[in-house]
Amino acid sequence: MKPTAGIIGIGHYLPEKIITNEDLVAQGLDTSDDWIQSRTGIRERRIISEEENTSTLALEAARKAIQSAGIDTSTIGLVVVATSTSDYGGFPSVACQVQHALGLPNIPAFDISAACTGFNYALTTAQQYIENNMVKTALVIGADALSKIMDWTDRNTCILFGDGAGAVVLSQTEKSKGIHYAELFSDGSQAEILKIDNERIEMEGRAVFKVAVKNVVPSISEAILKAGLKNEDIDFLIPHQANIRIIKQMSDRLGLSDDKVVTNLEKYGNTSAASIPIALSEAFEKKRISSGDTLVLVGFGAGFTWGINILEWEL
């Protein structure tokens, strides 16, 4: 019988520097706190300092996840990092930087690029390694520092994003717990609506909004059914923190009340691949989620990509 993969440790890290909506206005951006909050739900975001980079965020989150798992670091057999903003903009991967910094032996370590769906892609990839007995324990990280490629004069994009990292330790676990269902999607025909071109984010905001709601909601409903569950079995939805209005439309269409939806975008904005693990880690830290809860992690972003993981929480 195949082993099951479950999360046995979790942690997150956010840079200290805060940029509020008012700070953006003070910097000369033609916007207002009221406009940003009412259209997105975002109040402030975190930004890396000159000494920090994506790998430093990833490493801090990883150390916390390993500590929370209470494992010996040397038992980690795989490092997967979801990111679109690696330190070197290509190679070496952030995963190799983390592998070295943690003093791990020559295990597989690689980055995955699936924009804001990156954490779902990374988690699902590590899950396959564990279920197929290739490794017993994996470190899965979502880390991004989009501030590095932000055009701070473009009010269409710079109000939305922030930096951060979240990490989980995934390991072989009890059959009844762990990840029960995972599904990943992509539709490359929508590539143009959100892209990094000439090291700058370009986005058709309205199109992204529509594609997100149109594609993702039916996929969540189907995934819940395929996992043998009903919407009322879901204890918490942990969505990618893109925009409170997108999240609200999703939860309304799924019939999930606000108390079943984890959001923190008012404090951190959209941290891309880091947003789901940060939200999950905070919810765990605040004791909002507990052992036995059924969680649905939903990512969506550039590509266009989207992905769903349904799991029973065990910490």
Catalytic residues: 116, 240, 270
Helix (H) or strand (E) holding 18: strand 17-20
Q: Which tokens hold the place of 113?
A: 């690029």
Q: Which tokens hold the place of 269?
A: 């904005």
131 or 202: CB nearest ligand ACO: 202
Q: Which of 208, 223, 273, 289 is the binder for ligand ACO (CB under 6 A)?
A: 208
Q: Which of 55, 137, 243, 281 is the binder for ligand ACO (CB under 6 A)?
A: 243
Question: How does DSSP assign 165-195, residue by residue?
Answer: EEEEEEEEE-TTSEEEEEEEEE-GGGGGGEE
Which of the ranges 48-56, 124-132, 227-235, 239-247 carries the binding residues for ligand ACO, by CB under 6 A?
A: 239-247
Say whether residue 43 binds ligand ACO (CB under 6 A): no
Q: What CA–CA distance (Å, rounded) separates 256 from 28? A: 39
Q: Which of 242, 256, 297, 298 is the binder for ligand ACO (CB under 6 A)?
A: 242
Say whether residue 85 binds ligand ACO (CB under 6 A): no
Q: Which of 90, 206, 257, 287 is the binder for ligand ACO (CB under 6 A)?
A: 206
Q: What CA–CA distance (Å, rounded) separates 43 from 179? A: 33
Question: How does DSSP assign 85-146, residue by residue?
Answer: --TTSSSS-HHHHHHHHTT--S--EEEE--GGGHHHHHHHHHHHHHHTTS-SEEEEEEEEEG
Which of the ranges 3-11, 28-36, 185-193, 260-268 carries the binding residues for ligand ACO, by CB under 6 A?
A: 28-36
Whether residue 143 contacts residue 114, with contact meaning beta carbons closer than 8 Å, is answered with: no
Total number of residues binding ligand ACO (CB under 6 A)?
25
The β-bridge relationship of strands 305-312 and 163-173 is unpaired
Binding mask 252-291 for ligand ACO (x = CB under 6 A): ------------------x-x-------------------
Say whether residue 247 binds ligand ACO (CB under 6 A): no
Say whether residue 214 binds ligand ACO (CB under 6 A): no
Whether residue 245 contacts residue 256, with contact meaning beta carbons closer than 8 Å, is answered with: no
Say whether residue 302 binds ligand ACO (CB under 6 A): yes
Q: Give residues in contact with ligand ACO (CB under 6 A).
A: 31, 35-36, 39-40, 115-116, 155-156, 159-160, 194, 203, 205-206, 208-209, 240, 242-243, 246, 270, 272, 301-302
